[in-house]
Amino acid sequence: MEEPRSGFQTGDFEQHRVAYEDGQLVIEVKGPGRSTWTMRSFGDWPLVDVEGTAHWPDPAVGGFYGLTCGRSDQDFYAGLLDPSGGTVLLRVLGGQATVLLRDDTPAPDVSGGEPIELRFSCSGTDAGGDAWLSLSVGERVVASAADPSGFVSFLRGGFYIESGDSPEGALMTGDDFRVVAGLVSGGGPIPTLPTGGDPVVETLLSHVPETLRKLCREVFPSDQEATVAVDCGTPEVPVATYLQYAGPEAMMGDYEELLEERSDATGSSCEREPGEGPYTVDGVETGRLLCFLDEGTATLYWTDQRLSIMGHARAADGSFADLYA
């Protein structure tokens, strides 16, 4: 979190605040009995380990804090601690939480006011059997539960906070966030991304705007037919992904699937509203552009027929004009 480009959505709102400060991610809820979370996408995997350092600076303030893994900003699991070390595992659907497990017994190695290394392991039904999740403090598992009606796989992960009864609300900081995807039980292999210098990655990077190129990192392609992907997000555009396809047919197959899900994309200009249509470069039609609000966040997809590259960008807010620009 030393540089605010890790892709978490930030902002200062009436009831909560998320910001990069002093090399950490600060998440705050303003007032009692409230919760908020911030997540970023990482691909589509049936098994993930979401890891991070969480710091609850005031042990006297009640509430919960921890990590998430899920399908969207409104559908996810949360693995949480309270300030005394008690544990809670939540399933959140449509923003509504269900407690899967609660244990008020203090977990070992939870020192009041000190940063804590957490790991939230999530297994979806695509991995076989029931969905399963566990929360660890350091190397020690402190809570685990199965969920027969759980998610098939996971697209996002991040941090979660819920305030107690204090009128001031609650604040936590997060750091050292990472996701290890594709773990299998019994110490099986972990898929890894190609190393730097891969010619396919280098070719894709050559088509990314030069001002963004130094920010790019390779990510697992989120779309079925893409061969390689890089994300070049900034604080203003937390997700700026470029996906390379073997050919225009494969690219348009993924694009058409996206379009089928967006019945709201009926406007005339992505500069101000959800819509879909062709765009031009130097007066020549180059590809298609799709824009919509995804849970209140302005989102764009665009194709480049010449290069078989599809772009995907998400703003830090709901402004189509800023993201389009």
DSSP 184-252: -TTT-----PPPTT-HHHHHHHHTS-HHHHTT-EEE--SSTT-SEEEE---SSSSEEEEEE-SSHHHHH
Distance, C-alpha 5 to centroid of its chain: 13
On whether the CB atoms of residues 237 and 313 are closer than 8 A, the answer is yes
Over 80: is that where the pLDDT of 198 sits? Answer: no
Top-level CATH class of 11-181? mainly beta
More confident residue, 194 or 243: 243
- Give the rounded distance of the alpha carbon of 228 from its chain centre: 19
pLDDT band at residue 307 using 50, 70 and 90 as cut-offs: very high
Domain with CATH 2.60.120.560 in the chain: 11-181
Q: Can you give the pLDDT at residue 310?
A: 95
- Give the tokens for residue 185: 């039980």
**């998430």: which residue's tokens?**
68
The predicted structure's pLDDT at residue 112? 63
By three-state DSSP, how is residue 253 classified? helix
| Among the ranges given (94-108, 181-195, 225-239), the one the predictor scored with the smallest mean pLDDT | 181-195
Q: How many CB atoms lie within 10 A of CB 214?
A: 9
Query: Which pTM does this prediction carry?
Result: 0.59
What band does 184 get if pLDDT is binned at 50, 70 and 90? very low
Average pLDDT for residues 213-220, to the nearest whole number? 77
Comparing 144 with 224, which gets the higher pLDDT? 144
Looking at residue 183, its pLDDT comes to 41
Question: Two tokens at 219?
Answer: 């990510």
Q: Which of 64, 147, 76 is nearest to 107 (CA)?
A: 64
pLDDT computed for residue 180 by the predictor: 82
Cα distance between residue 35 and residue 159, in whole Å: 11
CATH of 199-324, one of 3.40.1000, 3.40.50, 3.40.91, 3.40.1130: 3.40.1000
Mean pLDDT over each residue of the chain, to the nearest integer: 86
3-state secondary structure (DSSP) of residue 257: helix
pLDDT greater at residue 316 or residue 284: 284
Radius of gyration of the chain (CA): 20
Segment 1-26 shows an average pLDDT of 84
Average pLDDT, stretch 46-51? 90
What is residue 237's predicted lDDT score, i.e. its pLDDT?
Answer: 81
**Confidence check: pLDDT of 185 > 50:** no
Please count the other Cβ atoms lying within 10 Å of the Cβ belonging to residue 211: 9
187's CB contacts (< 8 A; 6+ apart) are: none
Q: Which amino acid, residue 315? A: A
Q: What percent of the chain has pLDDT over 70?
A: 91
CB neighbours of residue 129 within 10 Å: 10
Query: What is the structure's pLDDT at 16?
Result: 93
| pLDDT tens per residue, range 69-92 | 999 989 999 999 998 889 999 999
241 vs 83: CA distance, rounded Å: 37
The number of C-alpha atoms within 13 Å of 219 and in the hemisphere containing its C-beta is 29
Boundaries of CATH 3.40.1000 in the chain? 199-324
Q: 290 or 223: whose pLDDT is higher?
A: 290
Measure the CA–CA gap between 211 and 257, rounded to whole angstroms.
31
Confidence of residue 236 (pLDDT cuts 50, 70, 90): confident
Give every strand in the sheet of 154-163, ordered side by side: 35-45, 154-163, 63-70, 76-81, 87-93, 96-103
